[in-house]
Chain A
Amino acid sequence: MRKSLLWLLLAVVPLLGGCWDAIEIENLKFIMVMGIDREPSGRVLVSLHAVNVEQLNVSTESSSSSGGELPYYLTTVRGRSLYEAFHNYFTRKHGRRGHFSHLQAIILGEEFAKDSLPECIDWLNRERELSVETEIFLARGRAYDLMKVKPIQERVSGSFIEGLETETANIGFVPTATVPILLTAFTTPGREAIIPLLEKGKLDLLGQGEKNETLQLGGAGVFRGSKFCGWLTPNETRGYLWITGKPRDPLVIVGMDERKVAFDVQEIKRKIKPHITGNKVRISVEMEARGEVAEIFGRGPHVDEAFFKEVGKRAADEIKQEIKNTIALAQRLGSDFIGFGEIVRGSTNNKKWKELDWRTQFPQVPVEVKVKGLVRRSGVAVEQLKAW
């Protein structure tokens, strides 16, 4: 028996040589950022930031002294479909397989996003190597133009965009869009997709004036079904985030006579209630924002309880206005990216949901917004310091 077991074990040995489908790292071309555009001819233009491995280990100083070669290069491929462009033409030009496991950002051109987002999301959904954390952005105009901008702050473009998104989302000016988030938004009845807007910005570097190009985030693009339908300003985007999520560190600037007070919102409680009468829907949004005072800019009387109360009240008015503007825009565009429909559907049944005909009804749905602001803490200092 022992002998036969030994033979059996020996027979298994040839199978232990390693993964059958292993791909050596030197045969891969890592992609960090991908831009997708629709060309006038209808073909798809895919721009890629591919890693330049040789430059990856070069320190910043020696890199700048040797002409500042970046650890990535921009390359483009075209095709009738996304997969054809990336898989066939990229491989033919680079002699290596493009690899998405380190892809940090995907930028969609406006023309492409107008009616091809579902195809793009479907492709990304099927892509095995893609990280679930890869962020998706919309470009006003062509994604290729943004791909050409070299970030000044970071050597690696993907890390720059990723950091930009994380920090801007923290202060509440952009929503987060990843493949799973977009797939859920697309497939959930009563909800539409929203994608952050990435655009060119000007940067004053070493006192040269605002000559240097950089990338900046703020605002978002929204969809109605699979079609792109409009843009949100950063404040309208924040209006959306007040209702749906919790920005990590949003700041509301409140005018108090001559002074400006920064109200740092630290906790949000919200309740969205649909009221259905017959086939008519009414929605009420109740929200409470609690936080602390981060800055008092300008001079004025003593800081006391009444002052805190007034700051809370005015901050609530400010937030309420942002929310109302966003809802008005959503209704004007006919895009329920806030997801009221999902909540309405959840409170009824599928038959009733069909009768409500949400896409038609949404632009006319009355939405009542109530916001309460509360300064819970004074922050590090209670009193405003004054010279003696």
Chain B
Amino acid sequence: MRTLEKIDPGQLMLLVMFTVPSTIQLTLPRMLAKVAQESGWMSALLGSVLGFFVLALSALVALRLPPGPLPTALEALLGKFWGKAVCLFLAVCLFSYIPLMHRIFGTAINVGMMPFTPLSVLLIIFSINIFLLVYLGLETIARSAQAFFPVLLLFFLFVVIGALPLMSLQRLKPFFGNGLWPIIQGTSLVTPYFGEGVIVLALIPSLSDQKKAWRSIGLASFFIGLVFTGVTVASLAAFGATWTASVPYPVLRLARNVAIGRFIHRFEPFFMAVWYISVYIKTSLLVFLTGKLLAAVFNQENYRLLCAIILILAFPLAFLPPDQLSVFHLQFGFAKVVSIVVGVVLPLVLLPFTFKGGVQK
């Protein structure tokens, strides 16, 4: 973290786009259908608009930090002790996502596609993949995101367009059927996750052209909102609120129901591939940033060793939730709290310092 690898604004946008949605993307329509029924998609839309401000908060802090990598900037801003303390706190928060992402990945693959493959085998393969990417550094993670993006977009559009014949706008009615309150409640399932965009604190210093940071953040928020709203509208319009609320992964179910005539069936591997790539990039980025932050805190040069230790520690922790419902509780309870703490509270605490004593770039 003491040396800066460079990424361009497009890569920043993609990294944020891959990071924010993947924790909840598969199961979000289910939760929104439970809370706001047919109006769930409005919660996704409103939540995404509010989410932009959450993301903007982290970006604002990042742009006002002193120059240099995040640990150096924080030490310059808060002093050595508090700078390291904040780094350690951020590292712990980011680390807490890693076992959860492992488990979310394993459970979705088990439930959605490969019920007989042991979870441990899935997680070992996942960890090895992540370590390979993390080993090669931030630029490689960013380039992987860039390389995978066209495929991901193509698969995503394939599923959404393929699902169009299944949809009926009638199933999205009545609009505001239960009033505004459930819709507002539903936003609490969307907005906090934009707090995961706190990674921009560490990414914006690496940005080659910082003037374009806001554009990247704005575009990333727009696309994340599009994904959240798109998958919720598609699930609700295809299945109705009751069925959507009863399926663990409505988006996978939607992909499964897509069929072109009687010729091409079952698109869930396509959507699984889209989702896998985003989970893979996100978890790699989290491991990389945690490793880098811890290396800076403990004055270590070799962050790769720390990344390996993080992955080894994450493996048993991923088995802690006893069942699938516990994973959902962690996704929509624990992860939400961590996202608020790290994406809203931490930037709010740091912001006054950047105005008071921080160096304006």
How far, in Å, is B172 (CB) from chain A's closest CB?
Answer: 8
- Identify which of residues 143-182 in chain B touch chain A, using a CB-to-CB cut-off of 8 Å: 166, 170-171, 173-174, 176-179
> Chain A 12-28, CB within 8 Å of chain B: the 1/0 string?
10010001110000000
Q: Is B210 an interface residue (CB 8 A)?
A: no
Contacts A20-B121, A132-B256 given: A345-B115 contact, CB under 8 Å?
A: no
Nearest residue, chain A, Cβ from B172: A346
Inter-chain contact B174/A345, CB cutoff 8 Å: yes
Picked from B116, B246, B265, B266, the residue with its CB within 8 Å of the CB of A21 is B116
Indicate if B125 sits at the interface (CB-CB under 8 A).
yes
Q: List residues of chain A with CB within 8 A of the CB of B117.
A: 19-21
User: For the complex, is B216 an interface residue (Cβ under 8 Å from A)?
Assistant: no
The answer to whether A132 touches B259, judged by C-beta atoms less than 8 angstroms apart, is: yes
Kindly state the interface size class of chain A when it binds its partner. Answer: 20 to 34
CB of A8 closer than 8 Å to a CB of B:
yes
- Interface-located stretch among A182-190, A218-226, A375-383: A182-190
A188 touches B171 (CB 8 A): yes
Does B114 contact A21, Cβ atoms closer than 8 Å? Answer: yes
Total A-B residue contacts, Cβ distance less than 8 Å: 73
A-contacting 9-mer, from B226-234, B236-244, B343-351: B236-244
| B243: contacting residue among A20, A133, A187, A350, CB under 8 A | A187
Across the interface, do A350 and B239 meet the contact criterion of CB distance under 8 Å?
no
Given known A11-B128, A20-B118, A184-B239, contact A132–B257 (CB-CB < 8 A):
yes
B259 touches A133 (CB 8 A): yes
Contact B257 A180 (CB under 8 A): yes
A350 and B132 contact, CB distance less than 8 A: no
- State in angstroms the CA–CA spacing of A346 and B114 once bound together: 39
Given the contacts A21-B116, A345-B174, A350 and B37 also touching, CB distance less than 8 Å: yes
- Chain A residues with CB under 8 Å of B361's CB are none
- Residue B356 at the A interface, CB < 8 A? no
A188/B116 in contact, CB under 8 A: no
CB distance from B113 to the nearest CB of A (A): 9
Among B114, B116, B132, B170, contact of A343 (Cβ-Cβ < 8 Å)? B170
Which of the residues A5, A12, A133, A349 comes within 8 Å of B265, measured between beta carbons?
Answer: A133
Determine whether B211 belongs to the interface, using a CB cutoff of 8 Å to chain A: no
Give every chain A residue within 8 A of B121 (Cβ-Cβ): 15, 20
Across the two chains, which residue of chain B brings its CB closest to A130? B256
Return chain B residues, CB-CB under 8 Å to A19.
Answer: 114, 117
Contacting residues, chain B, for A184 (C-beta < 8 A): 171, 239-240, 243
Does chain B have a CB within 8 A of A91? Answer: no
Contact string against A for B residues 298-325, beta-carbon threshold 8 Å, 1 for contact and 0 otherwise: 0000000000000000000000000000
Instruction: Say whether B174 contacts A350, CB under 8 Å.
Output: yes
Q: Is the CB of A187 within 8 A of B242?
A: yes
| Known contacts A15-B125, A183-B243, A184-B240, A348 near B174 by CB under 8 Å | yes
What is the CB-to-nearest-CB distance from B3 to chain A, in angstroms, rounded to a whole number?
17
A92 on interface, CB distance cutoff 8 Å: no
Decide if B128 touches A12 in the complex (CB within 8 Å). yes
- Assuming the contacts A131-B265, A133-B259, asked whether A349 and B240 have C-beta atoms less than 8 A apart, the reply is no
1/0 contact trace for B254-286 toward A, CB 8 Å?
Answer: 001101001001100000000000000000000
Complex interface bits, A177-214 against B, C-beta within 8 A gives 1, otherwise 0: 00010011001110000000000000000000000000
**Given A8-B128, A189-B242, A349-B178, 18 more pairs with CB closer than 8 A:** A8-B132, A11-B128, A12-B125, A15-B121, A20-B114, A20-B117, A128-B115, A132-B265, A133-B259, A180-B166, A184-B171, A184-B239, A184-B243, A187-B240, A187-B246, A349-B176, A350-B177, A351-B178
Give the 4 A-B CB pairs with smallest separation, nearest first.
A346-B173, A21-B116, A187-B242, A20-B117
- Residue contacts A-B, CB under 8 angstroms, 25 given: A8-B128, A11-B128, A12-B125, A15-B121, A19-B114, A20-B118, A21-B114, A21-B115, A132-B256, A132-B257, A132-B265, A133-B259, A133-B265, A180-B257, A184-B171, A187-B239, A187-B242, A188-B171, A347-B174, A348-B174, A349-B174, A349-B176, A349-B177, A349-B178, A350-B178
Q: Interface of B with A (CB < 8 Å)?
A: 37, 114-118, 121, 124-125, 128, 131-132, 135, 166, 170-171, 173-174, 176-179, 239-240, 242-243, 246, 256-257, 259, 262, 265-266
